[in-house]
Chain A
Amino acid sequence: MTDLSTTLCGISLDNPVIAASGTFGYGREFAELYDINMLGTFSFKGTTIEPRFGNPTPRIAETPSGMLNSVGLQNPGAEHVITHELPEMKRYFKKKVMANISGFSIDDYVKTAAIFDSQEQVGWLELNISCPNVHGGGMAFGTSPESAAEVTSEVRKACRKPLIVKLSPNVSDIAKIASACENAGADAVSLINTLLGMRIDLKKRAPILANVTGGLSGPCVFPLALRMVWQVKRAVSIPVVGMGGVSSASDVIEMMLAGASAVEAGAANLVNPYACRDIINALPAECEKYGITKLSDIIGGVKI
């Protein structure tokens, strides 16, 4: 039997599969379908200090082998998450959850991080500096090494839990940004967030998304995400969490060979609500197929 366990910033995971933020809500919809305690963990819906409705609809469009979304960080706000979602989550999720936080200023990020840093249920903070769907914040912090480092170091000062910085692929050199985050005190980086895309409704000659552009995810981004995970792994010595189009057990193995210590699956949950369960169930046989007895042994093991 393959040993699927891995470690992320000192916290052990039964397996490397993490449901990605924005595709798993606060877990409740999935907990109605299967026991989500089988997951490595999940990263909850990107949360901001104030509640947000997000962008106008339509905010979903299909693409070949993927989708665009321009949800724009809809969430009930940090206070509501602490008073309602986390207590509720206790009933169906017994593991440490990853708190995905976002903001529009350094002050926002620091305040939100501090709020979740004090929550016993939270294992890691995932700092989203890469949302392509909000203006004046989000991705703005993740597109230059200087601003990425600045927000990372300010949040670092405000929290004790492991800090994972989630990176944007919409940059010219993601490895440089990952290094800047590492130097600023990040305990890990996760990548990739979505790629900025667009679709046009031919009948209306207008964008399908009310926000005009949106973030691309799904299997179509997997090779690009894999390449970036590999590049970042070579540039940093902190753990890398790989994501982007992961939909199968073999995708997980590929991501880990490229350098991922753990792997997030996102869009796959939306088309197959059992995607993470299916991936985890398929992992042992898939590992055996490639002679892997301890999955964490292969991290970064791609032979170049």
Chain B
Amino acid sequence: MKESVFTVKKNTKIAADIYEMKLSGDTSDFTSPGQFAEIRIPGFYLRRPISVCDIEGGVLTLIYKTVGAGTDSLSRVCSGGTLDLLTGLGNGYDLSKSGEAPLVIGGGVGIPPMYLLCKRLTAEGKTVTAALGFNTSTDMFYVKEFEKICPRVIIATADGSYGVRGFITDAAKGAPHTFYYACGPRPMLDSTVRTFGACGQISLEERMGCGFGACMGCSVVTKSGARRVCKDGPVFDAGEIYFGGDVK
């Protein structure tokens, strides 16, 4: 973890309530896809955890959804402005588990970290299938970017306004894969594990206090005991997590 000041290069709306922010600064503490940053937003007490979408030549890309006053304020930061970030937080995805043909599943704002993951997997010569789920076509973002790096991209929208109608886990069912990686809302993760089993890694989300393991705000009961989503996760082996139907 490192605390440093980043300069906003770009902060633009790319879909309904979805913003892409590019920042320049010291990204050296980010070591794997799936890690996150904690951003201090002037006027708000707690930092906001945002997962890393891309890192390229000292430029950090974050994609976030405006869900409340804090992220709304973040969306109004102009380019040239500076932000205080804690970087390199959490444990990311383990690329060594991917096998030759990994399946990468993202839903909604769970999609951004999957971009860097797909990029890194592709760079290692893996044949990546990306499965991206949105609620509706106006929510869609980064589809072209994924298509550029992944040989196969499956899109589903819940209302059928683009791609396969329904949930992404159903749309991706049957996609041949050696391992899966998932990030998205909890019902999507539940369905992912039901559909694809325990041979994967998933990223959990929880309201956080600090983001670096001190406050115990974001703990989750796993099969190996209490774990902090921020420090021990957010990425966990799917087999470690209790899912709907499991008894804690």
Which residues in A have their C-beta under 8 angstroms from that of B210? Answer: 23, 269-271, 273
Given contacts A62-B44, A271-B46, contact A57 B206 (CB under 8 A): yes
The reply to whether B213 and A29 contact each other, CB–CB distance below 8 Å, is yes
The reply to whether A30 and B45 contact each other, CB–CB distance below 8 Å, is no
- A interface, over-half SS: loop
Given contacts A33-B1, A60-B208, A74-B226, contact A25 B213 (CB under 8 A): yes
The reply to whether B214 and A23 contact each other, CB–CB distance below 8 Å, is yes
The reply to whether B214 and A25 contact each other, CB–CB distance below 8 Å, is yes
A233 close to chain B: CB less than 8 A: no
B181 close to chain A: CB less than 8 A: no
B120 close to chain A: CB less than 8 A: no
> Measured between C-beta atoms, what is the minimum distance from A197 to chain B in Å?
13
> How far, in angstroms, from A133 to B128 measured CA to CA in the complex?
46
> How far, in angstroms, from A57 to B220 measured CA to CA in the complex?
8
- Find B45's partner among A57, A59, A218, A269 (CB 8 Å cutoff): A218
Given contacts A60-B207, A60-B218, contact A273 B47 (CB under 8 A): no
The reply to whether A23 and B45 contact each other, CB–CB distance below 8 Å, is no
A67 close to chain B: CB less than 8 A: yes
The reply to whether A67 and B219 contact each other, CB–CB distance below 8 Å, is no
Given contacts A62-B44, A62-B70, A273-B1, contact A57 B218 (CB under 8 A): yes
The reply to whether A23 and B221 contact each other, CB–CB distance below 8 Å, is no
Of chain A, the residue at the smallest CB distance from B84 is A272
> How far, in angstroms, from A270 to B38 measured CA to CA in the complex?
11
How many A-B residue contacts, CB cutoff 8 Å? 85
The reply to whether B217 and A271 contact each other, CB–CB distance below 8 Å, is no
The reply to whether B217 and A66 contact each other, CB–CB distance below 8 Å, is no
> How far, in angstroms, from A272 to B212 measured CA to CA in the complex?
11
Which residues in B have their C-beta under 8 angstroms from that of A237? Answer: none
Interface residues on chain A, size class: 35 or more
> Measured between C-beta atoms, what is the minimum distance from A49 to chain B in Å?
17
The reply to whether A22 and B215 contact each other, CB–CB distance below 8 Å, is yes
> How far, in angstroms, from A65 to B220 measured CA to CA in the complex?
27
The reply to whether A270 and B215 contact each other, CB–CB distance below 8 Å, is yes
Given contacts A66-B45, A74-B226, contact A59 B214 (CB under 8 A): no
The reply to whether B1 and A23 contact each other, CB–CB distance below 8 Å, is no
Of chain B, the residue at the smallest CB distance from A202 is B68
A119 close to chain B: CB less than 8 A: no
Which chain A residues numbered 38 to 59 have a C-beta less than 8 Å away from chain B?
A: 45, 53-54, 57-59
A32 close to chain B: CB less than 8 A: yes
- Find A53's partner among B3, B45, B226 (CB 8 Å cutoff): B226
- Find B207's partner among A22, A53, A58 (CB 8 Å cutoff): A58
Of chain A, the residue at the smallest CB distance from B47 is A271
Which residues in B have their C-beta under 8 angstroms from that of A32? Answer: 1
The reply to whether B209 and A67 contact each other, CB–CB distance below 8 Å, is yes
Given contacts A74-B216, A74-B219, contact A271 B40 (CB under 8 A): yes
A24 close to chain B: CB less than 8 A: yes
Which residues in B have their C-beta under 8 angstroms from that of A271? Answer: 40, 45-47, 210
B86 close to chain A: CB less than 8 A: yes
> How far, in angstroms, from A215 to B218 measured CA to CA in the complex?
16
> How far, in angstroms, from A130 to B221 measured CA to CA in the complex?
26
> Measured between C-beta atoms, what is the minimum distance from A75 to chain B in Å?
8
Of chain A, the residue at the smallest CB distance from B217 is A60
Q: Which 5 A-B pairs have the closest CB atoms?
A: A60-B217, A270-B210, A58-B207, A60-B209, A74-B216
A-B contact pairs, 20 of them (CB 8 A): A22-B216, A23-B210, A23-B214, A25-B216, A29-B213, A54-B216, A59-B217, A60-B46, A60-B208, A60-B218, A62-B44, A62-B70, A64-B45, A65-B45, A74-B219, A218-B45, A269-B210, A270-B210, A270-B214, A273-B212
